[in-house]
Amino acid sequence: MEDRAGRVPAEPIEQMVLAQIHAALMSPEMVQSVWDVAREKYPALTEPEVVLPLRQMGQVWTQLFPAERQRIVQLLIERVTLREEGIEITWRESGWHALAGEMRPGTIGAELLELEQQENGMEVVA
């Protein structure tokens, strides 16, 4: 049986994966589902402490250092499957919770996000 996919360059797939993560961060439904689970796992968190940083990360996604985007990809994605109609991403639910936890006020993730926004001249929403 012939392998129809053959060899596929990694860069276009990586760009599609990065675009999907960016779209997920910008999706109100995805952010809401992360908040729904985060409030069960971290009862002390408030909705703005989870939702606002995720939205902010979506806004600065393209300006993040490649190494930071790669770290987030590894945190959020369990598997990428190439299909004829495109790619299929299997998300790590625990990765979304970990990312939300990293963005809590007073954590290094929240501080780095704020610094990144200031360097890019973006208004910081607190």
The pLDDT tens digits of the residues spanning 47-82 come to 888 888 888 888 888 888 888 889 999 999 999 988
pLDDT (0 to 100) of residue 52? 82
Contact yes or no for 37/96 (Cβ under 8 A): yes
Tokens of 45: 């968190």
- Whole-model pTM? 0.68
Nearest-angstrom CA–CA distance, 58 and 43: 24
Contact yes or no for 26/89 (Cβ under 8 A): no
Q: Can you tell me the mean pLDDT for 75-102?
A: 85
Mean pLDDT rounded to a whole number for the chain: 79
For residue 53, the tally of other CB atoms under 10 A from its CB is: 24
Nearest-angstrom CA–CA distance, 21 and 27: 10
pLDDT (0 to 100) of residue 106? 64
